[in-house]
Structure 1
């Protein structure tokens, strides 16, 4: 039974030392941990604890951001007010970078609509078809002139009708061919 009491006292002492170490841990952030177990807090001895508290007090000095101290000793620790950034210039630069390029006002419907699979063939043949259309128009005009000339020469209406029917048959045959 005495072994249990002795071990319980040792456990209690270890727990107290750990709690002291945990209380001290927030004030001593830069102290290196020498123990192999990263979860176990370092338990300083009495000599080490007095040295570290003296170092902590000398290293820790107040920094006054919004408070203006009255004593001359503390005037050294006053932090200068930060200069505001040029936010307007930064925002203007970002707006210019985000501005989309101008789009053309007149957008053709043919460029937007999907094209048929043979559109390129039609485009390539269009020049030849224009030439053929001009030739066809000239030929039709020539036929009309011949018919008018024939009608002037012949007084007989029956001959003109027969000749016109013959020309239409020839044109129909040429179109089928």
Structure 2
């Protein structure tokens, strides 16, 4: 296409657009809802018109009274101790003692092991001290290994 062909096509499109605009402007009517073009002032809505404006004042009209009423109802309710008390009365005590109990559990298990070793050593006739119990345990392990061979 040459430059002249493209310019002719563009002119045709512009004329069609202009004709369409002129044709549609006759259909659209400008409505002045808030402005009176004759007196050049704002229109005042009368009570007989069906214009109902949605305003913030209408949205919050009864809100203040409702909030005051709800507040008075809450204050009127008697303070119930069961609502503020925790479900388990000793939950805070358990929270504090868990760490200490973990240490004590480990020490308890060690003490139980030493007592068992001492009893085993006493049954085999050796001394009742810890060293004798450990020696007895080592002998028992050696005997178990030799039996397996």
Same topology, TM > 0.5: no
| TM-score normalised according to structure 1 size | 0.27
Higher relative contact order (CA 8 A, sep 6+): 1
| TM-score normalised according to structure 2 size | 0.31
